[in-house]
Amino acid sequence: MARIARCIVLAVIVTIGCGQPKLSGTDLGATAAPDFTLTDGLSGKSVQLSAHRGQVVALTFLYTNCPDSCPLTAARFKAAQDQLAQDVDIVTFIAVSIDPDFDTPQAAQRFSSDHGLARNWFYLVGGRAQLAPVWTSYGIGVQQGADGAALLHNDAIYLIDKQGRERILLHSDALASDLLGDLRALARES
């Protein structure tokens, strides 16, 4: 009888310990991701974040003329799409523009094409009045660079689980394997 009790206790400990996958990046505590609705520059349709519940969302903030972190983030997203295999349809990649003056639908389409991003990919655009509240709710600071052309901004990549909770914060310099591993782990959660 004591042996059975020890086995049950051990099974419970193993089950509890295996409940959440070990994820890379900064743990965001599984708080509800702020919802928003913006226009996809590729299709012209409205995209609401909460409509993607049941999928893992990789959410970032980009601009099409960015010389450094934005192309790196796009490359990380493309690599993840290519390597996700059977999990690719469970993951949605969303970019929110930080440049309402120049990120037109045409610019979003060109950026997406140049980086090979199409599958489960949205590049959301709009005016400052639509975009700024989303930036604020995700802690994205945007300011004009000293040269007047570049924009300075956070290079945040939020990973949102299937229940719509912010789980992990990564940055564009994160290893591609970290992004891929986290997306796979979140995709396989029930």
Would the pLDDT of 92 be above 70?
A: yes
Q: Are 78 and 41 in contact (CB under 8 A)?
A: no
The dihedral region occupied by 138, where left means phi > 0, alpha psi between -120 and 50, and beta the remainder, is alpha
User: What's the confidence (pLDDT) of residue 16?
Assistant: 38
CATH number of the structural domain 23-187: 3.40.30.10
Residue carrying the six token digits 């570049």: 150
Please give the residue that has the higher pLDDT: either 99 or 175: 99
User: What's the confidence (pLDDT) of residue 4?
Assistant: 40
Lowest mean pLDDT among 68-72, 108-112, 160-164, 181-185: 68-72
Lowest mean pLDDT among 43-57, 100-114, 116-130, 144-158: 144-158
Q: How far apart are CA 116 and CA 114, in angstroms?
A: 6
From the CB of residue 173, how many other CB atoms can be counted at a distance below 10 Å?
10
User: What's the confidence (pLDDT) of residue 69?
Assistant: 87
With cut-offs at 50, 70 and 90, classify the pLDDT of residue 6: very low
Give the global pTM: 0.86
Q: How many DSSP H helices and E strands does the chain contain?
A: 5, 10
How do the domains of the chain map onto residue ranges?
23-187
Q: How far apart are CA 57 and CA 92, in angstroms?
A: 5
Arithmetic mean of pLDDT, 49-74: 93
Residue carrying the six token digits 């290079």: 155
Q: How far apart are CA 189 and CA 90, in angstroms?
A: 11
Would the pLDDT of 65 be above 60?
A: yes
Would the pLDDT of 35 be above 50?
A: yes
Would the pLDDT of 27 be above 50?
A: yes
Helices (H), 84-175: 105-114, 128-137
Please give the residue that has the higher pLDDT: either 14 or 51: 51
Q: Reduced to 3 states, what is the DSSP secondary structure of residue 147?
A: coil
Tell me the C-alpha to C-alpha distance, in Å, between residue 115 and each of 11, 42, 78, 121, 156: 46, 14, 7, 11, 19
Arithmetic mean of pLDDT, 6-27: 54
**Helix (H) / strand (E) containing 5:** helix 2-17
Arithmetic mean of pLDDT, 72-97: 93
With cut-offs at 50, 70 and 90, classify the pLDDT of residue 2: very low
Tokens standing for residue 89: 């349809």
Residue 77 makes CB contacts below 8 A (sequence gap 6+) with 58, 60, 93, 115, 117, 121, 179
